[in-house]
Amino acid sequence: MPEYEVDYSEVMGKLVSCPEECGMCCLCQPEVLPEERPFFKKNYPQFLVRTKGPQPYNALALKKGCGSCVFLENRRCKVYDHRTAYCRQFPYHLYASDKIKVELDLSCRGAWYGKGNDAVAEAKALVKAAEGRIEDALAESKEVYREFFANCKEAGVYQDPSMLRMTVSENASMFSSLGYLSRIMDMSTVEPIMALAGIRPETQLDMPSLDEAGRDLAMDSMSSSDPLSVPVYCDKDWNWNMFMAQNGKIDWKVMDDEGDLHHKGSVDAEAIKLKVPDPEGTKVLIDYVNTLNQRDSFMGSVFSIMDMNGYEDDMTNSYFGSMAVTIMDLLWRMSMLDHFMGTGVGAEGVREAIIFYDMDRLDAPTIGAFI
């Protein structure tokens, strides 16, 4: 029996469905594992491809090289019984740090309806199916984390991650207020070791600077003309929306089932002004802050930033600052969706922004590994 810890807390009490009209996960290009290749080599050799990039892998072909999986027809998988392990796992992500954490991709609309299959039962089945991959990946990630913590202690920037999480949990509402977000972002860059206790929100907000901060964060992820490299938002009418930023403008396009893009609108990015959620939207936002705060992959992404920056910043500043920056990105995306689609700033508007954002959040660089 495997001897490793698996944390199912994020999916406890959740029900997850797979809406038949959706197919958004089929826009991702899954790796084909060695044991899965014989089926595709024998039956569909023309659809087994090698991806580009610094770490290429065997994958299934996409329609026109950038659309949905070639096996998706009328939003149904033609090889459903032989779909890859990574297809089966979505919307669950298995993250390896010093343990395994099951995380739920909130870009999947089926994670929001409160109906469907028991998430814990599904996650346990996926963990069992991945046992052969988990042990090696976990051994490697444990060593990476051990080395990271040693580097932090040597540089004098180490803090207890559990205490950082406790502090954010106790002050989660701060991360829903522009006044506090502005203060936290400033303090994270100038204070040697910042603290949330006792801070006061900015009362004279520099809205042009906050607009610019949120805009720059969001547009960075949209700055590509390659559909494979930009965020995808599956709206409540099951359209696959893509937003591409270039030369200060944002183009809104919809991808159809054949992999063709259709222009829907465009706007000068500076015309989109940062908005804040109403009281009901704020409740949804605080729930999301608490979800991020418990994700090992979010903590791992903060650690990745610290490592890339040469351990210059204290872990406290890096963690609180990263949380604030993440919410600024989310709020600007909420504002953009409202501009194009009228989604609003209430509970629905914030939910739609999270659906647009969370897959990108889970795709951020981290020192651990998704299995």
Q: Give yes or no: residues 253 and 364 share one domain.
A: yes
Q: 249: part of which helix (H) or strand (E)?
A: strand 249-255
Closest listed residue to residue 259, CA positions, set 68, 74, 76, 73: 68
Phi and psi, residue 14, nearest 5°: -100, 145
Residues facing residue 244 across a β-bridge: 251
- What confidence score (pLDDT) does residue 228 get? 83
- What confidence score (pLDDT) does residue 3 get? 78
How buried is residue 136: exposed, middle or buried, by Cβ count under 10 Å (0-12/13-18/19+)? exposed
Last residue of a domain, one of 136, 171, 193: 136
Which letter, b or e, does each residue of 167-193 get, where b requires 16 or more Cβ atoms within 10 Å of its Cβ?
A: bbeebbebbbbbbbbbbbbebbeeeee
Q: Give yes or no: residues 314 and 168 share one domain.
A: yes
Last residue of a domain, one of 136, 166, 188: 136
Q: CA 58, 59, 61, 62: dihedral to nearest 10 degrees?
A: -140
End-to-end CA distance of the chain: 19
The Cα 244–Cα 100 span in angstroms is 34
Last residue of a domain, one of 115, 136, 157: 136
Phi and psi, residue 138, nearest 5°: -70, -40
Q: Is residue 95 part of a domain?
A: yes
Q: Give yes or no: residues 196 and 278 share one domain.
A: yes
Contacts of 169 (CB under 8 A, 6+ apart): 290, 293
Q: Is residue 53 part of a domain?
A: yes
Q: How distant, in Å, are the alpha carbons of 64, 133, 322, 357 from that of 299?
A: 36, 22, 9, 17
Q: Give yes or no: residues 168 and 131 share one domain.
A: no
Q: Give yes or no: residues 240 and 282 share one domain.
A: yes
Q: Give yes or no: residues 168 and 242 share one domain.
A: yes
Q: Give yes or no: residues 352 and 223 share one domain.
A: yes
Q: Is residue 128 part of a domain?
A: yes
SS3 77: strand
pLDDT 10s per residue in the chain (371 long)?
Answer: 567 899 999 999 999 999 999 999 999 998 999 999 999 999 999 999 998 878 889 999 999 999 999 999 999 999 999 999 999 999 999 999 999 999 999 999 999 999 999 999 999 999 999 999 999 999 999 999 999 999 999 999 999 999 999 999 999 999 999 999 999 999 999 999 999 999 999 999 999 999 999 999 999 989 988 888 899 999 999 999 999 999 999 999 999 999 999 999 999 999 999 999 999 999 999 999 999 999 999 999 999 999 999 999 999 999 999 999 999 999 999 999 999 999 999 999 999 999 999 999 999 999 999 99
- What confidence score (pLDDT) does residue 229 get? 85
- What confidence score (pLDDT) does residue 237 get? 97
Q: Give yes or no: residues 230 and 262 share one domain.
A: yes
Q: Is residue 94 part of a domain?
A: yes
The Cα 329–Cα 267 span in angstroms is 18
Domain that holds residue 15: 6-136
- Total tally of structural domains belonging to the chain: 2
DSSP designation for 239: -
Q: Is residue 143 part of a domain?
A: no
Q: Give yes or no: residues 49 and 186 share one domain.
A: no
Q: Give yes or no: residues 228 and 131 share one domain.
A: no
Task: Check: CB of residue 215 under 8 Å from CB of residue 269.
Answer: yes
Closest listed residue to residue 363, CA positions, set 97, 63, 68, 107: 107
- What confidence score (pLDDT) does residue 82 get? 96
Q: Is residue 1 part of a domain?
A: no
Q: Is residue 57 part of a domain?
A: yes
- What confidence score (pLDDT) does residue 1 get? 55
Contacts of 124 (CB under 8 A, 6+ apart): 6, 8
Q: Give yes or no: residues 309 and 190 share one domain.
A: yes
- What confidence score (pLDDT) does residue 68 get? 96
Q: Give yes or no: residues 125 and 215 share one domain.
A: no
Q: Is residue 37 part of a domain?
A: yes
Closest listed residue to residue 187, CA positions, set 369, 353, 313: 313
Q: Is the dihedral of CA 239, 243, 244, 246 positive or negative?
A: positive
The Cα 250–Cα 266 span in angstroms is 5
